[in-house]
């Protein structure tokens, strides 16, 4: 019996992945199962009623007002469903931020797709959907890009909207609040993993969000739409910097790429239509400090990764940089590990490149983060084409060949969630 209990340890505090409220497990509401128990005060007429139970089955499930047993739980503040694994496994939040069209949605889709393949085969870590319903949008992206039955047809991920079906609306009485839907994954060491026995302490529920770039602009995160509050909980921030949106990078790449996004733009129009990417980073820094209750002069102690997107479009600026995956096998060990020296050296070269063309981005990052990494990614592997039917950019699924897209997340996991993914570092830190 004690053994059984230790396997099923319930965490003392749960963090809601929707509204980020922290609560004790016994404060949880349960979700009615009986089909007549419809119409929740906070979520609306089509949602099952949430309730505090007074009757339980012998197995510990709650019994709803119509006598039906239920095992689904919800947050006492927002009433949205909190998946069971969050009651037993520690969550880790990562924030992905960047200007509109910087490549956040493509990055997320290609990254989760690659991680689903690589983690179990190369690193001995199982990656499963914590809640398949809330991950549905990501599944759509992944299927469209990588499992499309019409691989030669031009497809595109739609621009992320600031409201709509990626959000849940909660009626808080006097006002309603819109929360972004989290993407949640269980990461657990498999049987073959050397830390399998420590599974209960090193496993994580990884929570990610896909925001619209506009939500990172000053004034766009409000009490009724607190869509970027995950920044405060984030273990590591990923700022997506898009060189194609910077006139200095576009000039440097002239004649060196066929990506239509790198073509010279009418500079006046470009200035009016695009946002300065350092504004987005500085605003995010402000928000982290504000939400975490830090003063301006207090250093933020969490790490920052500058992810330089669309690597395929600016490769010629660093022609010596190989896009071979940075994973190494260790003789006699069952799992691969990250090649820490190579990642460090790539980070240095990419950081130097940014310092040359966009010093303000590096300055903003250095003024904020304690641990700073610069990593290049290509979510597609090649430039998009203009779709003659719509005039917008598209990709043919057959051509999708992402590289390094999962490296920022694997590096962050290895550094900030020790025990899941290993990293080999031979250089002394002082040499770097």
Ligand X SMILES: Nc1nc2c(ncn2[C@@H]2O[C@H](COP(=O)(O)OP(=O)(O)OP(=O)(O)O)[C@@H](O)[C@H]2O)c(=O)[nH]1
* Residues that bind ligand X in the complex, under the rule CB under 6 A: 98, 100-106, 157, 159-160, 212-213, 259, 309-310, 312-313, 378-380, 383-384, 393
For residue 312, give the H/E element and its range.
helix 311-314
75 is in the binding site of which of ligand X, Mg ion, Zn ion, none (Cβ under 5 to 8 A by kind)? Zn ion
Assess contact for 22 and 13: CB atoms under 8 A.
Answer: yes
Question: Smallest distance from the beta carbon of 244 to ligand X, in angstroms?
Answer: 7
> Which residue lies nearer to ligand X by CB, 307 or 362?
307
Please list, in sequence order, all residues whose beta carbon lies within 8 angstroms of the beta carbon of residue 83, skipping any fewer than 6 positions away.
17, 130, 131, 134, 184, 205
Question: Smallest distance from the beta carbon of 63 to ligand X, in angstroms?
Answer: 43
204 is in the binding site of which of Mg ion, ligand X, Zn ion, none (Cβ under 5 to 8 A by kind)? none
State the burial class of residue 102 (Cβ atoms within 10 Å of its Cβ: 0-12, 13-18, 19+). buried
Question: Smallest distance from the beta carbon of 349 to Zn ion, in angstroms?
Answer: 42
17 is in the binding site of which of Mg ion, Zn ion, ligand X, none (Cβ under 5 to 8 A by kind)? none
Question: Smallest distance from the beta carbon of 79 to Zn ion, in angstroms?
Answer: 7
Interatomic CA distance for residues 79 and 175, integer angstroms: 15
Question: Smallest distance from the beta carbon of 378 to ligand X, in angstroms?
Answer: 4
> Which residue lies nearer to Mg ion by CB, 32 or 160?
160
Secondary structure (DSSP) of 33-77: -STT-EEETTTEEEEEPEE--S-B-TTS-EE-TTS-EE--EE-TT
- Nearest-5° angle of CA 362, CA 230, CA 19? 165
245 binds Mg ion (CB under 5 A): no
Among 32, 70, 102, 105, binds Mg ion (CB under 5 A): 105
> Which residue lies nearer to Zn ion by CB, 179 or 311?
179
Kindly determine how many residues on this chain lie close enough to bind Mg ion according to the rule CB under 5 A. Answer: 3
> Which residue lies nearer to ligand X by CB, 95 or 160?
160
Stretch that binds Mg ion, among 111-119, 158-166, 190-198, 319-327 (CB under 5 A): 158-166
379 is in the binding site of which of Zn ion, ligand X, Mg ion, none (Cβ under 5 to 8 A by kind)? ligand X
103 is in the binding site of which of Mg ion, ligand X, Zn ion, none (Cβ under 5 to 8 A by kind)? ligand X
Residues binding Zn ion (CB under 5 A): 16, 18-19, 21, 75, 77-78
Q: What share of the chain is helix, strand, coil (3-state, %, to 5)?
A: 35, 20, 45
**What single DSSP character describes residue 160?**
P
Question: Smallest distance from the beta carbon of 10 to ligand X, in angstroms?
Answer: 37
Assess contact for 220 and 173: CB atoms under 8 A.
Answer: no
Stretch that binds Mg ion, among 159-167, 175-183, 251-259, 376-384 (CB under 5 A): 159-167
Among 70, 160, 225, 261, binds Mg ion (CB under 5 A): 160
Interatomic CA distance for residues 231 and 374, integer angstroms: 19
Backbone Cα Rg of the chain: 23
> Which residue lies nearer to ligand X by CB, 31 or 383?
383
Q: Over the range 2-27, which residues count as b (16 or more CB within 10 Å of their CB) and which as e? A: eeeeeeeeeeeebbbbbbbeebeeee
> Which residue lies nearer to ligand X by CB, 32 or 309?
309
Interatomic CA distance for residues 292 and 295, integer angstroms: 9
Question: Smallest distance from the beta carbon of 219 to Mg ion, in angstroms?
Answer: 20
- Spacing of C-alpha 15 from chain mean position: 17
Interatomic CA distance for residues 267 and 110, integer angstroms: 31
19 is in the binding site of which of Zn ion, Mg ion, ligand X, none (Cβ under 5 to 8 A by kind)? Zn ion
Interatomic CA distance for residues 12 and 425, integer angstroms: 36
> Which residue lies nearer to Mg ion by CB, 144 or 345?
144
How many residues does this entry show for the chain? 432
> Which residue lies nearer to ligand X by CB, 208 or 420?
208
Question: Smallest distance from the beta carbon of 146 to Mg ion, in angstroms?
Answer: 17
Nearest to 189 by CA among 174, 175, 200: 200
Assess contact for 310 and 99: CB atoms under 8 A.
Answer: no
Nearest to 153 by CA among 312, 402, 382, 388: 388
> Which residue lies nearer to Zn ion by CB, 15 or 211?
15
> Which residue lies nearer to Mg ion by CB, 210 or 278?
210
228 binds Mg ion (CB under 5 A): no
Binding site for Mg ion (CB under 5 A): 104-105, 160
């Amino acid at each position: 019996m004690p053994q059984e209990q230790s396997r099923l340890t319930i965490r003392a505090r749960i963090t809601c992945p929707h509204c980020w409220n922290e609560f004790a497990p016994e404060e949880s509401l349960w979700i009615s199962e009986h089909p007549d128990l419809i119409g929740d005060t906070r979520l609306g007429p089509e949602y099952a009623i949430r309730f505090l139970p007074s009757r339980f089955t012998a197995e510990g499930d709650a019994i709803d007002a119509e006598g039906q047993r239920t095992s689904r739980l919800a947050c006492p503040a927002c009433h949205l469903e909190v998946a069971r694994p969050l009651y037993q496994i520690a969550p880790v939040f990562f924030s992905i931020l960047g200007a509109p069209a910087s490549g956040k949605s493509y990055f997320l889709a290609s990254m989760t797709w690659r991680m689903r393949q690589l983690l179990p085969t190369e690193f001995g870590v199982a990656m499963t959907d914590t809640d398949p319903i809330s991950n549905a949008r990501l599944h759509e992206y992944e299927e469209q890009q990588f499992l499309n039955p019409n691989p030669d047809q031009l497809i595109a991920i739609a621009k992320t909207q600031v409201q709509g079906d990626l959000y849940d609306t909660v009626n808080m009485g006097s006002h309603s609040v819109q929360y972004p839907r989290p993407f949640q994954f269980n990461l657990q060491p498999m049987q073959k993993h050397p830390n399998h026995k420590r599974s209960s302490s090193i496993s994580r529920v990884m929570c990610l969000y896909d925001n619209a770039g506009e939500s990172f602009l000053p004034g766009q995160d409000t009490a009724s739409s607190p869509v970027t509050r995950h920044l405060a909980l984030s273990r590591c921030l990923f700022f997506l910097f898009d060189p194609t949106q910077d006139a200095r990078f576009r000039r440097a790449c002239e004649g060196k790429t066929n990506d239509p996004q790198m073509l010279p733009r009418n500079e006046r129009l470009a200035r009016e239509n695009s946002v300065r990417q350092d504004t987005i980073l500085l605003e995010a820094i402000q928000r982290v400090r504000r939400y975490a209750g830090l003063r301006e002069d207090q250093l933020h102690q969490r790490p920052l990764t500058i992810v330089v997107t669309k690597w395929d479009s600016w490769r010629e600026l660093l022609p010596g940089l190989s896009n071979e995956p940075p994973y190494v096998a260790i003789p006699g060990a069952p799992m691969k590990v990250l090649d820490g020296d190579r990642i460090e050296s790539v980070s240095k070269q990419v950081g130097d490149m940014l310092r040359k063309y966009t010093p303000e981005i590096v300055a903003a990052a250095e003024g904020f983060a304690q641990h700073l990494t610069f990593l290049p990614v290509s979510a597609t592997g090649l430039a998009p084409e203009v779709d003659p039917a719509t005039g917008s950019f598209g990709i043919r699924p057959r051509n999708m060949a992402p590289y390094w897209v999962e490296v920022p997340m694997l590096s962050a996991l290895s550094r900030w969630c020790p025990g899941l993914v290993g990293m080999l570092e031979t250089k002394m830190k002082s040499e770097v």
